[in-house]
Amino acid sequence: MDELSFDDFLKVDIRVGVVTRAEPFPEARKPAIKLWVDFGGDLGVKKSSAQITAHYAPDTLIGKQVMAVVNFPPRQIGPMKSEVLVLGLPDENGEIVLLTPDQDVPIGGRMH
């Protein structure tokens, strides 16, 4: 495993946002959901594509707080430009479970 300096870690901007809209993404190569995540402040609402269909349906995601990297360059995924990377961990079957705060926190907060 490559070592990472603390200064390198500080370059990764991970923030909490709240899902305001979620839709199926049938155009994606692997099953995915389109997310619109509000980070508040200057960041506002950003789009993302997440391969989370095993554990989540779009309607269950509205209002959910999620963690995302907000300073990666946008990435084209099919017809959609993904602006942030929503974070998750694989379960025992390799299906993604979202990283979320265990209590509600103000949106836009940066991970420390």
CA distance 3 to 36: 33
On whether the CB atoms of residues 73 and 62 are closer than 8 A, the answer is: no
Q: Where are the domains of the chain?
A: 22-98
Q: Give CA–CA dist 7/36, Å, rounded.
A: 30
Q: Is the pLDDT of residue 28 over 90?
A: no
Question: What is the mean pLDDT of the segment spanning 72-86?
Answer: 95
Average of per-residue pLDDT across 19-44: 95
Please tell me the CATH code under which domain 22-98 is placed.
2.40.50.140
pLDDT at 59: 97
* Average pLDDT taken over every residue of the chain: 95
Give the helix, strand, coil percentages of the chain, each rounded to 5: 10, 40, 55
Tell me the percentage of the chain whose pLDDT exceeds 70.
Answer: 100
**Band of pLDDT at residue 112, cut at 50, 70 and 90:** confident
